[in-house]
Each structure stands twice: as C-alpha cells, then as structure tokens.
Chains A and B, each alone.
Chain A
C-alpha cells in the first residue's frame, strides 16, 4: 500500500509513505515537513489547513491523500517563486496583517485563489470568500486591507 501514491507538492513529486486514507494535512506537515498548513479544527470549519489543489483552495484536514491524484498541490511555501514572495504574501507584510498569525496560511491561500479568479472583487466578494477562514485575534480589517494591496500589486504585474 505504502509507496503507491505519488503527489506533486510545490512542484516536486513525493511518494507518500502514510496510509492512503491519511488526511493530506498530516502528509504535508509530517512527511514533507511543511509548516504552512496548520491543524486548526480537524473538522473543515476554520480554514487554517488550507492548500491549493490546482487553483482551488481546499481544506486539507480531512481530504484523504489518495484522492489528490495528479492535481498539483501548492502550500504557503510554494507561493514563493525563486525566493520572491508572492504579491499576496508581500501585501500581508506591508499591511502587518496578522497578530498571532496561526490562521494566516488560510487567509493567504484564499486570497491568492480569489484574485486569480477575480482580479478586482467587490468588498462583499472578498468578505464572502474569507468567511470560511476564522481569525480569533481580530485581524480582519488588516487582512481586508492586505487583499486590496495584493490586488494592486498583482494588477501592477502586467495584467490579469
């Protein structure tokens, strides 16, 4: 059983050692050693464990690793290209958009996915997209400002 599943994470292939029904989160964290996706609730309710599967933001705390197939997985770490932070990551630094930062993974993943699909979302669209991501520190307004700054940074990248 072990060794049958191969997944692509942040551009690299990885042969999974854990059981096929292992949630993706634990493979990413404990086998591959990534820190971006966090365990928050284990019940797909808080968004801390989000990753991109293809271009879709997905919760990884229940998703069995066997169901990934050939889809490319991108984590917070994988948004960095050749040492350059993704514009959404830069925007979160520019706006100092975290307090404890435990939830920031899901916030950035959701924002990146949203802005790819919809480069100029309305305020309501941004808030609705982020409603599944819980923040306990109350950094919401900074996160909303970071989304706007990311929008500007990304449109400055030469188009949509």
Chain B
C-alpha cells in the first residue's frame, strides 16, 4: 500500500516555525503532516496491526514505545502491533528523527489514528449488533456485547481487508491517560532478542543479491585536491571491479569486502594538501573573533545599572571543543541505482529529506528514489550515515550494480560532522546579600545543524564539486538552553552565530543544550560559592516552579546532599566532592537535575567519578525501563564527553582518527548511575533521549570544585587541566 497519498497535507514546519531555540523546527523540517487514517494504520486480515511512522529507530527504543501507544489506544496486545518506520514508499513523511520529538509528534499522530480507528470499529460493531456504543467492550482487538459476550467480532473481521478511507478529525477523543495499562509499563524491546542472537538487524547486515562491496579513498585533509592516481598500483589486487574517480571523490568497488579494503590501501594517489584549519591552540580565539550574526534571546530589566551597582562582579569563560559522535559501527549504506528506479537502504535520521537530496545528486525526480531506513549503530545526532548513502549511490551508479558501501573507522572520525566547538562567557553580579542582580550570557557557536538538504551538504557533493564547505547559512541550535529558567531580575542572553565552522559541524544530542548548561550551571555554582551559599539552596531561590523545585530536591535528597557552601577545605592527596546541575530542557520540555560524586587525585589531577544521581521529569512516562535506559546512557555518554573527549587537529588534518586518538569512557571508568523518575500521568509525554545529557558536565565540574577548589571551565577535564586549575 502506498500510505503517503498526499491528501490533506500541510507543512508542519510552517505551522510550528519560529520556536526559539527549539529542536522541533529541525525535527519537522519539510515534514508533511497527513491526517488520512490509512496512512498511519492498517488492520490486517490475520488480526495484526501495521502502524506506520515516518520517524526511525536510532537505537533508543522508540519502535517499542510507539507500538505501546498504538496497542494502548486501539486496545490490542502489543504483540499484534508491527511498526513500519522510515520508508518513502510506505510511511508518512515526518522529516527528521531528532530533538527528542518522536514521542511528541509521531506518538501523538499514532495515538490519534489509533483512537479514531477504534471509534470507527466500535461504530461498525454497534451497527452489526444493533446495540449502543456503551454496550460494547474491546479486548485485544475483539469487540463483544457486554451483556451477551457470545456476540463478538474481531477488528480484522469488521475491516474485511478494506481501508478506513477517512480522515482523523482534529478533536478525536483519546483514552484518559489515567486508565492506561500498556503505556507506562516497562515493555521489553522487540529488537533485543534478535540482536543478542545475531539475526540480521543493522544496515551493516543487509545483503542484496548481486551486491558488490565499496570502500572510499578519502583525501588526506579536508582542503586537499586530487592531482593524479596510478591504477597500476592495483595490479595484483584481485576482485577490483572499478576505481571511481570524479574530481576529489574516489571510491573502489570490488567483488569482496576485503578486496576493496586492500585496494584502498594500495591505490597510489597524489593530492595537493592545503592548510585550511586554524591552529588548534587558536580555536577559541578564532571562534570569538569570527564575524557573527547575533540573536538576542532576552533583555530584561536594566542590566547596565544592575551590573554597575553590583556588590560582587564575576566573569567567567567556558570552552567546549569539537566532539565526535563516534558511532561504534562506521556508517554504511546499500544502493541499487537502476535506470528507472533507485533504491537506497540507509540508517539516515531523515529518509524523506535524504531521498530528495540524493535525487538532486543524481539529477532525477525525487519519486525515483526509494529510501528505506535500516537501523545503524547509535548515531546520537548526525553522523556519517547520510554521507555514506550518497557515496553508495555514486558507486552503484558507476558500476550499474547494487553496492554496499562501508566507511572505515578513520572515514567516520575524520568525515562525520562534529558537534561544534563553542565559547560561553557569563557575567554575573551579586548584591551584598548574595542575590543575583545581573546575569549576562553570551555564546559563540557555529550552527548546530547542517542537514543534507542539498548535495553540497554531503561529503560526496563537496568532493564532486571540489568545493569543500563548512558553511551552510543555517544558524540553529546554539540557543538551546542558553536561556535558563531562573527568575533573574536583570538579564540578557545573546547568541553569536559564527558563519564558518573550522570543522564541518552538525547536530549532536541536545545541540547546544549540553554546552550552554555546562556554562550556566557552572556559573551558578561560581555565584553560589561567591555568596557562600549552598548550591541547592542558591538555585531554589530563583526557581519558583513547583515541578522544577521537586526535580532539584529529589536529586539532592537521593544523593544524600549535605547542605553547605563549596568548596570543602581538605588537604589530602585524594579528595572527595559533590556537585549539582539543573536544566529545564529547551526551557519547557523535560526537567533534569544531576548530582555527581567525584574523587580527585590532587597529585595526578585524575578525576574518578564514583556516582551520578539523576532526577528526571518528562511528564507521562511511556516505558519506565526504556526511559531509565536512555537516562543511564546519556549520562554515561555525556560523562565520557566531559572527562575525555576532544577532536584533535592541526592546520591540515584532523588528528583524531581512531579509538586511541579519540578515547571514550571504558567499563573501569563508569560510575554508578542512580535515577529518580518523577511520573506525571496527567501531563503530556515529553522526549527523553537528550535532556539528561545536559547536566552531567556541570555537575562533575562543580563536584571537582567542591573537592579541590579548582574550577574547570574547559571540556574535557583531563588530569593536566585539573592539576593546572588546582589552587
């Protein structure tokens, strides 16, 4: 069935546009909302339900969570629900899977579709049995008459293989969330049994008949130009089908994967390299001195006067390096470019937008490109998956056969778009009583989003055109959580967008949310310390919202928080401390507070994080265990980023090319993570993939300060930096 019939479509982006600092714009970029019921749901003759979502599974468990929502609303067991996700010939266009928006957007659409379907089915049954609606009951997809249970009919029998053929009205009535039995219950993920048994589960496992294997010969540096190559260097390498060289793009297609790898290692290519990057030690001065486009998010009260009259003035600058998504599985895609039909299997977060871009790359109408999402390794934002799809398409087009294209580890580290480097400067004024009277926040950042809306935004497009580009004129994402939820009387928050990112950059889990929260929450701690006030008490002064207060207090209470000002004064070699950080994600989404307990070796500067407590309120909880999994994961990942990660480069090349030059947290370094979930069944369900990634770095920095008096303002908190900061 072609679910996406194009009826009743409207641009979600237009309706929702203009939301400041929001990921919703990005998540719904180009998305086409459909309210045609059959686009979302099918009742199959065997009693199963097929539900269609334009969002995709990125390893976060949304496939299971969406199935729970459908099962709940339709009153069928979850085993009956089969999700089809991210297929341009089968599912609705829901833009990108991004911004923790899948539960909000696709979840809401599917809930409404299932609610409407249930109403229609009940209506059919009431006519069949000539009874009123309230005389019927549904159990696992079978409707029966309450007083005469022998009179029953299944959804499948009522539908008889037909479509609903109708729209979902705007005001469809849905179940009261307080009566939920499936939603809100920990539900095992459907993919885990397959994955632990070694069944085909990933794009890397996909095999298409007649498929060849492709690998890439990337330029040694971003600005390098192709001069020449010597194909005779491949004599003796078996299985090589074709060396595809177009301008700076080179890929090799071979019969076997290992042959393609061998050929890539052997092919002699001459490049002309150029120094296109700033020296790494100048990165932050480069960012601050670049031309900017400025967004003023808030300008409230009279900051100038408040600052001048402040009893105590503080200014601090925080630094965030480039981070790699560093997916465990390097990007992979399979493409089959035929004259009349192009099929691409990719782990893209945006099947529809990517299919349009690939169509432009091949100069064919968009409907010729059938894009099918297949899960990849966790991506946490935009990794190389879209780029790999374009590479696969070019190679398949060149050989006229399906090609499986696999990036190397180095391809992924060097060519994936990075989380942008940022500089955050905060000026704060306290009055004589220790109250915050002035708050001036500035952030310098490249855009956090450079999605593949045109071929030039993909690596392949840039290499084909010979125009390496890092700038796409799309400034986005650095606003996220630049503004706090604290009720400061005089405050100003300014985002300075830098047009050109020295390294190619795009979205990473929470966009600027993590970096802004690192700066804001570190600075709150600096002010609390200057005022000699306990960090929790200090925050509560500016947090009137009851829900927010409860999150902060829950984290502190679970952590056994002992109220006192920081730092403690201890003189030993090994010192302990605790720190807290709070964030209201996007200022109106999930609310998070984290407490970190650390031990610092003051001789070596090594930081050992012992325990992190996270309190989390994301409204109605869909799958408690899935939620815990997300919070644990984002806490550990963001700890890895805070303690260890920094993309290294010189003026020519990116130097972080493998796990030795870009180390991440290992089992021996992982702390205990304890989670307090605050369920709000009466509140809307909010996304949870990103919020708890924001508070870790500041909680750890604040704990290091508490333990040592050393203030860490630059990520990562390496032993050398800790030692240098010791008082």
C-beta contact mask, B325-352 vs A, less than 8 Å → 1, else 0?
0111110000000000000000000000
Residues of A within 8 A of B326 (CB): 136
> For window 154-175 of chain B, which residues contact chain A by CB distance below 8 Å?
none
Supposing A75-B198, A98-B192, A131-B666 touch, asked if A43 and B378 sit within 8 A by C-beta, the answer is no
- B406, A39: Cβ atoms under 8 Å? yes
How far, in angstroms, from A33 to B327 measured CA to CA in the complex?
23
Choose, from B54-62, B269-277, B391-399, the stretch at the interface. B54-62
Residues of A within 8 A of B626 (CB): 96
Which of A35, A42, A43, A130 has a CB less than 8 Å from the CB of B198?
A: A35
Residues of B within 8 A of A99 (CB): 59-61, 378, 629-630, 633
- B409, A127: Cβ atoms under 8 Å? no
Chain A minimum-CB-distance residue to B213 = A30
Asked if A142 is an interface residue, CB under 8 A from chain B, the answer is yes
Supposing A34-B198, A76-B197, A137-B633 touch, asked if A42 and B409 sit within 8 A by C-beta, the answer is yes
Chain A minimum-CB-distance residue to B332 = A39
Residues of A within 8 A of B633 (CB): 99, 137-139
Nearest CB on B from A140, distance (A)? 4
Asked if A63 is an interface residue, CB under 8 A from chain B, the answer is no
Nearest CB on B from A133, distance (A)? 8
Supposing A141-B673, A142-B629 touch, asked if A104 and B377 sit within 8 A by C-beta, the answer is no
Asked if B210 is an interface residue, CB under 8 A from chain A, the answer is no
Residues of A within 8 A of B192 (CB): 92-93, 96-98, 101
> For window 12-35 of chain A, which residues contact chain B by CB distance below 8 Å?
18-19, 22-23, 26, 29-30, 33-35
Supposing A39-B204, A139-B629, A141-B672 touch, asked if A101 and B257 sit within 8 A by C-beta, the answer is no
- A142, B632: Cβ atoms under 8 Å? yes
- B408, A42: Cβ atoms under 8 Å? yes
Nearest CB on B from A34, distance (A)? 7
> For window 42-100 of chain A, which residues contact chain B by CB distance below 8 Å?
42-43, 45-46, 48, 75-77, 80, 85, 89, 92-93, 96-100
Nearest CB on A from B662, distance (A)? 11
- B378, A96: Cβ atoms under 8 Å? no
- B375, A141: Cβ atoms under 8 Å? no
Which of A97, A130, A133, A140 has a CB less than 8 Å from the CB of B636?
A: A140
Chain B minimum-CB-distance residue to A85 = B197
Asked if A115 is an interface residue, CB under 8 A from chain B, the answer is no
Asked if B226 is an interface residue, CB under 8 A from chain A, the answer is no
Chain A minimum-CB-distance residue to B60 = A99
How many residue pairs, one in A and one in B, have C-beta atoms under 8 Å apart?
Answer: 169
Supposing A30-B256, A39-B330, A138-B637 touch, asked if A100 and B58 sit within 8 A by C-beta, the answer is yes
Chain A minimum-CB-distance residue to B693 = A138
Asked if A9 is an interface residue, CB under 8 A from chain B, the answer is no
Asked if B670 is an interface residue, CB under 8 A from chain A, the answer is yes
Number of A positions contacting B (CB below 8 A): 57
C-beta contact mask, A116-137 vs B, less than 8 Å → 1, else 0?
0000000010111011011111
- B660, A101: Cβ atoms under 8 Å? no
Supposing A105-B198, A142-B632 touch, asked if A127 and B668 sit within 8 A by C-beta, the answer is yes
- B196, A40: Cβ atoms under 8 Å? no
Asked if B304 is an interface residue, CB under 8 A from chain A, the answer is no
Chain A minimum-CB-distance residue to B635 = A138
Chain B minimum-CB-distance residue to A144 = B667
- B668, A128: Cβ atoms under 8 Å? yes
- A136, B378: Cβ atoms under 8 Å? yes
How far, in angstroms, from A137 to B635 measured CA to CA in the complex?
10
- A43, B189: Cβ atoms under 8 Å? no
How far, in angstroms, from A7 to B573 measured CA to CA in the complex?
55
- B257, A26: Cβ atoms under 8 Å? yes
Residues of A within 8 A of B330 (CB): 39-41
How far, in angstroms, from A88 to B641 measured CA to CA in the complex?
30
Residues of A within 8 A of B256 (CB): 18, 22, 26, 30
- B658, A45: Cβ atoms under 8 Å? yes
What's the interface size class on B, roughly?
A: 35 or more
How far, in angstroms, from A19 to B213 measured CA to CA in the complex?
16
Asked if B205 is an interface residue, CB under 8 A from chain A, the answer is yes
How far, in angstroms, from A157 to B261 measured CA to CA in the complex?
44
Asked if A103 is an interface residue, CB under 8 A from chain B, the answer is yes
C-beta contact mask, B639-681 vs A, less than 8 Å → 1, else 0?
0100000000000000000111000111110101100000000
Asked if B431 is an interface residue, CB under 8 A from chain A, the answer is no
Residues of B within 8 A of A23 (CB): 258
Supposing A102-B377, A104-B196 touch, asked if A48 and B329 sit within 8 A by C-beta, the answer is yes
Which of B61, B257, B660 has a CB less than 8 Å from the CB of A30?
A: B257
Residues of B within 8 A of A29 (CB): 257
How far, in angstroms, from A93 to B670 measured CA to CA in the complex?
21
How far, in angstroms, from A45 to B663 measured CA to CA in the complex?
10
How far, in angstroms, from A93 to B190 measured CA to CA in the complex?
10
Nearest CB on A from B257, distance (A)? 5
Asked if A154 is an interface residue, CB under 8 A from chain B, the answer is no
Nearest CB on A from B97, distance (A)? 13
- B378, A19: Cβ atoms under 8 Å? no
Which of B193, B204, B207, B637 has a CB less than 8 Å from the CB of A33?
A: B207
Supposing A45-B659, A93-B193, A98-B192 touch, asked if A134 and B201 sit within 8 A by C-beta, the answer is no
Which of B61, B193, B198, B202 has a CB less than 8 Å from the CB of A77?
A: B198
Which of A38, A89, A127 has a CB less than 8 Å from the CB of B204?
A: A38
- B670, A141: Cβ atoms under 8 Å? yes
C-beta contact mask, B406-424 vs A, less than 8 Å → 1, else 0?
1011000000000000000
Chain B minimum-CB-distance residue to A132 = B666
Residues of A within 8 A of B634 (CB): 138
Residues of B within 8 A of A135 (CB): 328
Residues of B within 8 A of A134 (CB): 328, 659, 664, 666
Residues of B within 8 A of A142 (CB): 629, 632
Asked if B200 is an interface residue, CB under 8 A from chain A, the answer is yes
Q: Interface centre among A43, A75, A104, A136, by most B CB within 10 Å?
A: A136
Known: A35-B199, A141-B673. 20 other contacts (CB 8 A): A22-B258, A26-B257, A38-B204, A39-B329, A75-B198, A80-B197, A96-B192, A96-B625, A97-B192, A101-B59, A102-B202, A102-B328, A105-B198, A131-B668, A136-B326, A136-B377, A138-B636, A139-B633, A141-B670, A142-B632
A-B contact pairs, 25 of them (CB 8 A): A18-B258, A19-B238, A35-B200, A35-B202, A39-B406, A41-B658, A43-B409, A45-B658, A75-B198, A76-B196, A77-B197, A93-B193, A97-B192, A100-B59, A100-B375, A101-B195, A102-B59, A102-B329, A103-B328, A131-B667, A134-B659, A136-B380, A136-B637, A138-B665, A140-B636
Closest 9 CB pairs of A and B: A100-B59, A138-B636, A36-B198, A100-B378, A138-B633, A102-B377, A76-B198, A101-B195, A77-B198
B residues engaging A (CB < 8 A)? 58-61, 188-189, 191-193, 195-202, 204-205, 207, 213, 238, 256-258, 261, 326-330, 375-378, 380, 406, 408-409, 625-626, 629-630, 632-637, 640, 658-660, 664-668, 670, 672-673
